[in-house]
């Protein structure tokens, strides 16, 4: 949503849209000292300078990730995208992204180019995605992305490889208040044409209110790569276990139940095999096969005992990239995906749902004049979904989907550039929606969702100064929402927002940045005066703004930030059994976040980091929560009815070799 201070000023203005195909390269190497790369790995089918691609992209490197000590993608993006990322306030509790104001399921998550989406979720829970081994993050907004959805945008995660021959790696330990403890071990070894990397992260932390067990996270990864002639092979595997206390068993207008022993557990495993062939100076081919499995033990809203359910996903994709000199290119893409969901957190729902998608996409770019670029993207799919109830398989959807976008970027001189793009999409419902509807007698068949989108932006950079002004709008038709009993095509929603950023940055790590966003999600089905207060339009703060400052040198570096999320409409916890439609109200408090980090480089190998975060909110105990004593007084809860995370102070020591 805004430029990173740790980027060079002119890099902040190089923002991008979302591609329908993936970049043709192996996982990028670890960032080297000096300026950050002024290019995007995921905004288009092939690596592109950020100043040339039409749209918005934010690039974060390993230094950004380690400075804040974020364990998961949700922790990191809560700070970087205020107002577009929402969390329930405690470690491990669900964190969802509303990128550009759209729904969580409209943003696709890529791991080294492979979509990674849990079939049991309506949008990936960002708290379930650890950042161990991730060295680069790209956040791309305002256009469709690759994968099964992506109308809201794409978040692309990349793993790295050792940046020099021989043995390398790091060891780290962290401690802090709230019972925080964390250890990291991530060794690596590189040789001529190949590398081997691995790592483990183990962490725990107390929940925001007392529970029988703390939050626990254990994650491991392994990556190996080798070049043989013109082919580059890479194999990656990741495994994660999460134990998350969820003591807020019942949260309604009429009752609250606090259960300190209630928790959820999640185990996830994913792997990917990828081959990149350089077939000629201007021709390359990439092929990937990915598998993922997500196993959950989680209690439904209002229940104490967990249910077991799991999702699986297998995906194949291949892309051929053709270059025509330096001013034109074409990429062709073939993909196939099989998803399956067995069971649900609601124990009354049994059986399984299956989804199969076969797709073909193309992308072309043309630079007919110096400083002017045209980008076209299109994708067509054949979608089939079925339910497995006992020994019977019943097809519930068979249809065609599409995504298309046409955009341009024009460099205007004087440090200015203008970009614009628009298009539309037709997307299948999720298989978890189909499975949950199977338990509702008389539920209408779900149809494909449709949407259109438009983006317009102006960027500027001159010397140490930079700025940005961007607006986007999306209109949805036949969007699928819940009426409290079943999912149905009902919503016509218009989402629009405007981003602003202005900053100053020197080459000696000194800078200041101000940013702001205004947005709305309007339910066009609702009567006048209620269009912002329905389930289709909630969870989007109308305004958010903040400041970031960076100061330091080669040894000591200090970063401080302040953000404020304004008023919004939100539901009060869960649905009440007597009334399945949740109560949605305007929150009268705002979410304020103050934080800082101080990094000290000690010699060649040691780095010490002090951090402080969320310094404004008061503590809430279970009795106060049950009695609702601090509702409307706590200025830092993100989800109405849930207490906010307590102030956090940590110290971390890292040793790199």
Q: How much of the chain exceeds pLDDT 90, in percent?
A: 69
Arithmetic mean of pLDDT, 353-364: 96
Place of tokens 């995660």: 157
d(CA 520, CA 471): 12
Work out the pLDDT band at 573, boundaries 50, 70, 90: low
Output the pLDDT for position 506.
87
d(CA 141, CA 311): 27
Output the pLDDT for position 27.
34
| Spatial CA neighbour of 14 closest among 462, 460, 473, 499 | 460
Has residue 146 got a pLDDT over 70? no
Which phi and psi angles does 105 have, rounded to 5°? -75, -5
Tell me how far apart the terminal alpha carbons of the chain are, to the nearest angstrom.
35
Are 71 and 625 spatial neighbours (Cβ–Cβ below 8 Å)?
Answer: no
pLDDT (tens digit, 9 = 90+) per residue, 92-134?
Answer: 999 999 999 999 999 999 999 999 889 999 999 999 999 999 9
Of residues 19 and 520, the one with the higher pLDDT is 520
Arithmetic mean of pLDDT, 360-383: 96
pLDDT (tens digit, 9 = 90+) per residue, 181-194?
Answer: 999 999 999 999 99
Output the pLDDT for position 519.
96
Q: How much of the chain exceeds pLDDT 70, in percent?
A: 91
Average model confidence (pLDDT) across the chain = 88
d(CA 129, CA 72): 5
Of residues 615 and 71, the one with the higher pLDDT is 71
Are 104 and 123 spatial neighbours (Cβ–Cβ below 8 Å)?
Answer: yes
pLDDT (tens digit, 9 = 90+) per residue, 295-349?
Answer: 999 999 889 999 999 999 999 999 999 999 889 999 999 999 999 999 999 999 9
Place of tokens 């089918």: 45
d(CA 535, CA 545): 25
Output the pLDDT for position 387.
97
Pure H helices in 72-153 = 73-80
Place of tokens 């539309």: 424
pLDDT (tens digit, 9 = 90+) per residue, 199-252?
Answer: 999 999 999 999 999 999 999 999 999 999 999 999 999 999 999 999 999 888
Q: CA 288 → CA 135, 234, 272, 417, 556, distances in Å?
A: 20, 10, 7, 35, 42
List the single range of 171-175, 235-239, 458-462, 614-618 with lowest mean pLDDT.
Answer: 614-618
d(CA 613, CA 6): 19
For the chain, how many helices (H) and strands (E)?
Answer: 4, 35
Output the pLDDT for position 17.
31
pLDDT (tens digit, 9 = 90+) per residue, 631-655?
Answer: 877 777 788 888 888 888 999 999 9
Are 49 and 38 spatial neighbours (Cβ–Cβ below 8 Å)?
Answer: yes
Work out the pLDDT band at 580, boundaries 50, 70, 90: low
Output the pLDDT for position 88.
85
| Spatial CA neighbour of 52 closest among 325, 411, 423, 499 | 411
Output the pLDDT for position 15.
28
- Produce one character per residue of 254-275: b if its CB has 16 or more CB atoms within 10 Å, e if not: eebebbeebbbebebbbbbebb
Q: Which domains does the chain have, with CATH numbers?
A: 11-656 (2.40.170.20)
Has residue 147 got a pLDDT over 70? no
Arithmetic mean of pLDDT, 490-499: 93
d(CA 102, CA 270): 27
Output the pLDDT for position 20.
29
d(CA 2, CA 432): 33
The string of DSSP codes covering 495-526 is: EEEEEEEEEEE-TTS-EEEEEEEEEEEEETTS
Are 278 and 286 spatial neighbours (Cβ–Cβ below 8 Å)?
Answer: no
Arithmetic mean of pLDDT, 170-190: 96
Tokens of 79: 């700070």
Pure H helices in 54-155 = 62-68, 73-80
The string of DSSP codes covering 560-584 is: EEEEEE---EEE-SSPBTTB-SPPE
Long-range (24+ apart) CB contacts under 8 A made by 365-370 are 365/44, 365/48, 365/328, 365/329, 366/327, 366/328, 367/52, 367/326, 367/327, 367/328, 368/327
Q: How many CB atoms lie within 10 A of CB 453?
A: 23
Work out the pLDDT band at 10, boundaries 50, 70, 90: very low
Q: Tell me the Ramachandran region of residue 442: left when phi exceeds 0, alpha when psi lies from -120 to 50, beta otherwise.
A: left
Are 223 and 236 spatial neighbours (Cβ–Cβ below 8 Å)?
Answer: yes
d(CA 47, CA 33): 20
pLDDT (tens digit, 9 = 90+) per residue, 524-568?
Answer: 999 988 899 888 888 899 999 999 999 988 899 999 999 999 999
Tokens of 299: 């209690």
β-sheet bridge partners, residue 472 = 455, 497
Are 42 and 21 spatial neighbours (Cβ–Cβ below 8 Å)?
Answer: no
Please give the sequence-ordered ranges of beta strands (E in DSSP) within 246-371, or none if there are none.
248-251, 256-258, 263-280, 283-298, 307-323, 328-342, 352-369
Helix (H) or strand (E) holding 626: helix 622-626
Place of tokens 């190089």: 14
β-pairing verdict for 584-586 and 569-571: antiparallel
């Amino acid at each position: 949503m805004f430029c990173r201070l740790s980027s060079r000023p002119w890099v902040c203005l190089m923002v991008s849209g979302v591609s329908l195909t993936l970049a043709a390269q192996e996982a990028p190497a670890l960032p080297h000292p000096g300026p950050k790369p002024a290019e995007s790995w995921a905004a288009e089918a092939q690596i592109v300078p950020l100043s040339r691609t039409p749209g918005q992209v934010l690039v974060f490197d390993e230094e950004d990730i380690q400075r804040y000590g974020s364990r998961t993608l949700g922790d990191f993006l809560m700070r970087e995208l205020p107002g577009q990322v929402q969390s329930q306030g405690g470690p491990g509790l669900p964190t969802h992204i509303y990128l550009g104001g759209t729904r969580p399921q409209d943003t696709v998550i890529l791991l080294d180019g492979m979509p990674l989406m849990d079939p049991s979720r309506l949008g990936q829970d960002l708290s379930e995605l650890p950042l161990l081994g991730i060295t680069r993050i790209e956040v791309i907004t305002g256009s469709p992305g690759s994968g099964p959805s992506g109308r809201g945008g794409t978040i692309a995660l990349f793993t790295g490889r050792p940046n020099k021959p021989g043995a390398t790696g790091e060891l780290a330990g962290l401690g802090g208040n709230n019972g925080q403890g964390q250890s990291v071990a991530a060794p690596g070894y590189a040789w001529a044409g190949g590398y081997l990397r691995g790592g483990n992260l183990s962490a725990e932390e107390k929940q925001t209110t007392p529970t029988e067990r703390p939050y626990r996270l254990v994650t491991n990864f392994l990556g190996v790569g080798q070049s043989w002639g013109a082919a580059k092979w890479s194999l990656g595997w990741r495994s994660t276990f999460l134990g998350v206390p969820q003591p807020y068993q019942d949260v309604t207008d009429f009752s609250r139940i606090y259960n300190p022993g209630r928790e959820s557990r999640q185990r996830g495993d994913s792997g990917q095999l990828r081959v990149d062939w350089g077939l000629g100076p201007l021709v390359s081919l990439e092929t990937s096969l990915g598998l993922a499995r997500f196993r959950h033990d989680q209690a439904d809203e209002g229940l104490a005992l967990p249910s077991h359910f799991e999702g699986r996903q297998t995906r194949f994709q291949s892309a051929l990239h053709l270059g025509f000199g330096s001013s034109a290119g074409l990429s062709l893409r073939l993909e196939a995906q099989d998803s399956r969901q067995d069971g649900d957190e609601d124990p009354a729902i049994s059986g399984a749902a299956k989804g199969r998608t076969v797709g073909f996409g193309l992308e072309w770019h043309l630079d007919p004049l110096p400083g002017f670029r045209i980008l076209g993207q299109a994708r067509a799919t054949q979608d089939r979904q079925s339910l497995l109830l006992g020994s019977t398989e019943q097809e519930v959807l068979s249809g065609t989907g599409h995504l298309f976008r046409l955009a341009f970027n024009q460099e205007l001189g004087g440090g200015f550039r203008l970009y614009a793009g628009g298009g539309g999409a037709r997307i299948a419902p999720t298989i978890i929606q189909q499975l949950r509807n199977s338990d509702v007698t008389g539920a209408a068949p779900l149809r494909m969702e449709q949407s259109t989108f438009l983006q317009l932006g102006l960027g500027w950079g001159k010397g140490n100064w930079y700025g940005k002004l961007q607006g986007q709008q999306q209109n949805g038709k036949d969007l699928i929402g819940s009426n409290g009993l079943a999912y149905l095509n009902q919503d016509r929603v218009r989402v629009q927002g405007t981003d602003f950023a202005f900053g100053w940055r020197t080459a000696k790590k000194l800078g200041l940045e101000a940013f702001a966003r205004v947005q709305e999600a309007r339910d066009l089905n609702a009567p006048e005066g209620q269009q912002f207060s329905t389930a289709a339009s909630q969870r989007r703060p109308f305004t958010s703004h903040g400041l970031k400052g960076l100061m330091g040198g080669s040894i000591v570096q200090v970063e401080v930030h302040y953000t404020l999320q304004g008023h919004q409409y939100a539901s009060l916890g869960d649905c009440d059994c007597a009334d399945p439609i949740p109560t949605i109200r305007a929150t009268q408090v705002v979410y304020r976040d103050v934080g800082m980090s101080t990094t000290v480089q000690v010699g060649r190998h040691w780095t010490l980091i002090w951090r402080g975060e969320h310094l404004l909110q008061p503590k809430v105990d279970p009795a106060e929560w049950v009695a609702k004593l601090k509702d409307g007084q706590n200025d830092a809860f993100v989800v109405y009815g849930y207490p906010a995370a307590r102030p956090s102070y940590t110290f971390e020591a890292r040793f790199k070799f």
